[in-house]
Structure 1
Amino acid sequence: MKIGVLGAGLMSDALATRWAGAGHEVLVAGRTPERAARLAERIGAGARHGTLREAAAFGDVALVAIRHEGVLSTLRDAGAAEGAFRGKTIIDCNNPVEVGDFTLVTPPGTSLAERMQDLAVGSNVVKAFNLCQARVWEMTPPVFDGRPLAVPFAGDDAASNALARTLITDLGCVPVEIGALHRARHLEAMAAIVIGLLHGGADPHTVFNLITPVAA
């Protein structure tokens, strides 16, 4: 499939590199064009770079991997409110967590993923890939004690959930659908705990292995 990547940081690098290696087409965009160009070159496998609006228009799926403070403004710049993502799946791997005391900064009763859904007219947002640090997604594949990593995800649209399931499987992971998009609130709250552990010096490769599936 075609994947537009909004953001040129570590998560974009890790996920887009793995997906390009699995045969997907990737176009990278960021607020700093030079950084996006460097990432596309590093990804290889025919990856390209472009503007935020070009990334929105490019593919079946758009990965948004940006510091939470800039997620909504980046979507606006990409044309989300004008329907630039209409009919597309947006993968949200971001965490609205304040790293002073590791708490959520979203208003009670909502999530960043739901706010993205409200802004991006006609899109379908899926929350996924937010519980592990980029180094885990660089593993080929992420396997712990002989068991593949399970990746929980939440979304309202069956077709978009199926695309997310494919992208998870292409990393060598096990997709775990946990329900509708409102359950992204729980994934983001879980991430606040994970991020606190990581900042405390926990190993990114082991901090959340409790979600690996148990062999039958």
Structure 2
Amino acid sequence: MRIGILGAGNMAAALGEQWVRAGHEVIVSGRDPGKTAALAATLGARAGTWQEAAAFGEVAVVAVLAGAVPAVIAQTGDALRGKPVIDVTNDVGPHGFRPVAREIARLSGGHVVKAFNLCHVDVWRMTPPVFGGRPLAVPLCGDDPGALALARELAADLGCTPMDGGGLGRAELLEATAAFMIGLWAGGADAQAVLPPLARSGAHPAA
């Protein structure tokens, strides 16, 4: 698969490395050409402009700071229109959080899937991310079946289990979940412990 990554930071590096290892063709793009070229050389990928990365990919991945999203997408022209776009960003801070996925959909005209936003970048560097013998699950929120299929494939290539999170309208819930959990982790809590196992969830009563 051809993947155009908008971004040359830690998330772009971690995910890009895994996808190159899985045999995908990757272009990375960033605001600093030198840094972008260095990252591409490290990954075994190619470097390009925002527009080149957006146009190259069968799927594009938005991995820039949330505040930079409008300016970056503006530089892609129409290259993202009608294309699968995976949004891995979080806009989290003292203010709480700001939804990003539907903004990306509106600005780009692409078929956006929210994914890969619940974990620290070091998790995406794991090969594979397995905890207690259980592969990490990756919730996906999106409306387009084709875009969701590609996102599932990319999650599986990381050794993760894709999980249906509902339509793009539910992406804001996923973004809010990230903000809430990040706050717990920052306070030193084992945030994973807040949820019971499926059998005790109430949706599937124990036998």
1:71-150 aligned at under 5 Å gives the runs: 71-79=69-77, 83-97=78-92, 99-101=93-95, 103-105=96-98, 111-121=99-109, 123-150=110-137
Letter in structure 1 aligned against 2:88: C
> Does structure 2 conserve the Cα–Cα contact (< 8 Å) formed by 1:144 and 1:209?
no
Query: How many percent identity over aligned positions?
Result: 52
Q: Which runs of 5+ in 1 are unaligned?
A: 106-110
The alignment covers a number of residue pairs equal to 199
Q: 2:144 aligns with which of 157, 166, 171?
A: 157
Letter in structure 2 aligned against 1:85: L
> What root-mean-square deviation, in Å, do the aligned CA atoms of Structure 1 and Structure 2 show?
2.0
Alignment match, 1:9: 9
d(CA) in 1 for partners of 2:179 and 2:15?
21
Taking a change above 3 Å as real, the CA distance of residues 171 and 188 of structure 1, as seen in their structure-2 partners, is same
Taking a change above 3 Å as real, the CA distance of residues 10 and 207 of structure 1, as seen in their structure-2 partners, is farther
Q: Does the residue aligned with 1:115 lie in a helix, a strand or coil?
A: helix
Give the TM-score of the pair, scaled to structure 1. 0.86
Taking a change above 3 Å as real, the CA distance of residues 159 and 84 of structure 1, as seen in their structure-2 partners, is same
Q: Does the residue aligned with 2:126 lie in a helix, a strand or coil?
A: coil
1:170-189 aligned at under 5 Å gives the runs: 170-189=157-176
Alignment match, 1:195: 182
> Does structure 2 conserve the Cα–Cα contact (< 8 Å) formed by 1:132 and 1:208?
no
Q: Which runs of 5+ in 2 are unaligned?
A: 200-207
Taking a change above 3 Å as real, the CA distance of residues 29 and 70 of structure 1, as seen in their structure-2 partners, is same
Letter in structure 2 aligned against 1:92: D
d(CA) in 2 for partners of 1:175 and 1:157?
15
Query: CA deviation digits over 1:153-199, x for unaligned, max 9?
Result: 10010010000000000000000011110100100000101222343
Query: CA deviation digits over 1:68-107, x for unaligned, max 9?
Result: 111121111122xxx211231110011122x225x113xx
Query: CA deviation digits over 1:95-141, x for unaligned, max 9?
Result: 122x225x113xxxxx31111111112x2000000000110010000
Taking a change above 3 Å as real, the CA distance of residues 73 and 201 of structure 1, as seen in their structure-2 partners, is farther
Query: CA deviation digits over 1:39-83, x for unaligned, max 9?
Result: 111112xx100100100110101111111111121111122xxx2
Alignment match, 1:108: none
Taking a change above 3 Å as real, the CA distance of residues 208 and 63 of structure 1, as seen in their structure-2 partners, is farther
Taking a change above 3 Å as real, the CA distance of residues 128 and 13 of structure 1, as seen in their structure-2 partners, is same
Taking a change above 3 Å as real, the CA distance of residues 38 and 156 of structure 1, as seen in their structure-2 partners, is same
Q: Which has the larger radius of gyration?
A: 2
